[in-house]
Structure 1
Amino acid sequence: MVIWKRKIYRIVMGSIVPTVYLLTRSPVFPLIISSFFLTLLLALEYERYKNPKIWNWILSHFGGIFKTEPGTLTGETNFMIATFLSILYFPKDVAIANLYFLVFGDAGSAIIGKKFGKLKIFPGKTAEGMIGGIIFNLAVAFILLHLTGIPIEILVSGLLVGSILEVLPLKVDDNLTVGIIPGILMSLLLIWKR
């Protein structure tokens, strides 16, 4: 049940910024929204280290939403850093696609991997979860194909790289790697294609 809470929360909250960007086509509001949430999350990070009692209270009341490991930023903070940087540096259609892939690939891989995962790739990662993330993101890519100017082969390249990064046991939080590297790739492929 905890995984469902966290993933539904992530889908709803994680879709706000790219949806606003998609609707407004201007980076101003998405940057304001992401900087607000990033500031809030950084304040929570500060409190987490400065006053663990407050953090424990937050975890007891919002259990399942925040996933933390000692000595690291929360996944939500890393997610919002990637969101802010995507809006700031990537072309608008790439930023939109990149953020939706981050949200839905993570949710798809976690939900499918938890329910059906048998074939372990790395600790906590399964082939079924990876395939689930790819399927979720393929559905997103086909929708984005009609809403953005990004060709399908570039969208698929971005989502596949994101799916690979999602399962790799890297030292860097996957919210940062999946939230930034596919966007760089899609941006470069768009430049190369034009």
Structure 2
Amino acid sequence: MASSSFLDEVLRKGFHLMSVAIVLVYAFFGKEVVLQFMTLYLVSILIIEHLRLDFGFKLPLVNYLFRQKERKAVAGYVYFTLGAIVAVSVFSKNVAYAAILMTTFGDMSAALVGKRFGRIRIFRGGKSLEGCVAEFIVDLLIGYVFLSNLSIALIMAFVATLVETSFEKIDDNLAIPVFSGFVAELILIVTH
């Protein structure tokens, strides 16, 4: 039977599946519509965060899913939304798709595999080698699916995995799409 911390992690990561909606809205309705959608969402969650942090409002059914560090600070979904807005605004469509989905599925695989099977601890944050490998493989697949270029996918996956593994003070939900997307976009500009 799975531990409650593993089940909490599954539920916590489930919120990140909004990235699929971002990619679908972008694909079917375009950049302008998805940016309007994400801006409306950002305004809504900033109001919720204001009520939660400044007035002690408890979000029904989800309040217990906040990590300890998020209980009195801005939650990860705000940083994720900001990272997705940067990715869509600045990067080409396929790089944005890959960066956003790496943030969700790479991070999700690292957390779930790390919690469930992680034995070998690396870096200061207690991340597991098994989680890092899982993230890298998922990120590599995502990068290759959207960019059809193994070299760029490898570099983008490496950057996303390194950021997720080594950043402690900067939220990885913001850093992964910004750094991985930036590197991929830079390579595309330089090589074309």
Same-fold call, TM cutoff 0.5 = yes
Q: Which residue of 2 aligns with 1:15?
A: 20
Equivalent-residue separation in structure 1 for 2:24 and 2:154 (angstroms): 20
**1:137–1:61 CA distance, 2 compared to 1 (3 A):** same
Equivalent-residue separation in structure 2 for 1:31 and 1:126 (angstroms): 35
The CA RMSD over aligned residues, in Å, is 1.8
Structure 1 residue 172 displacement after superposition? 1.1
Equivalent-residue separation in structure 2 for 1:172 and 1:71 (angstroms): 16
Structure 1 residue 63 displacement after superposition? 4.3
Q: What aligned pairs does 1:93-172 form with structure 2 within 5 A after superposition? A: 93-121=94-122, 122-145=124-147, 151-172=149-170
Structure 1 residue 141 displacement after superposition? 2.8
Q: Which residue of 2 aligns with 1:189?
A: 187
Aligned residues: 184
Structure 1 residue 144 displacement after superposition? 2.0
Which consecutive segments of 4 or more residues in structure 1 shift more than 4 A?
none
Equivalent-residue separation in structure 2 for 1:64 and 1:155 (angstroms): 36
What secondary structure sits across from 2:73 in the alignment?
coil
Q: Which of 4, 8, 31 lines up with 2:10 in the alignment? A: 4
Structure 1 residue 65 displacement after superposition? 4.4
What secondary structure sits across from 2:169 in the alignment?
coil
Equivalent-residue separation in structure 2 for 1:160 and 1:22 (angstroms): 26
**1:23–1:155 CA distance, 2 compared to 1 (3 A):** farther
TM-score using structure 2 length: 0.87
| Structure 1 residues not aligned, in runs of 5+ | none
Deviations 1:93-130, CA, capped at 9 Å, x for gaps: 21111111111111110011011101111323111111
| Structure 2 residues not aligned, in runs of 5+ | 1-6
**1:5–1:108 CA distance, 2 compared to 1 (3 A):** same
Structure 1 residue 40 displacement after superposition? 1.2
Higher mean Cα deviation, 104-113 or 129-138? 129-138
- Given that 2:132 and 2:165 are in contact with CA atoms closer than 8 Å, whether structure 1 keeps it comes out as yes
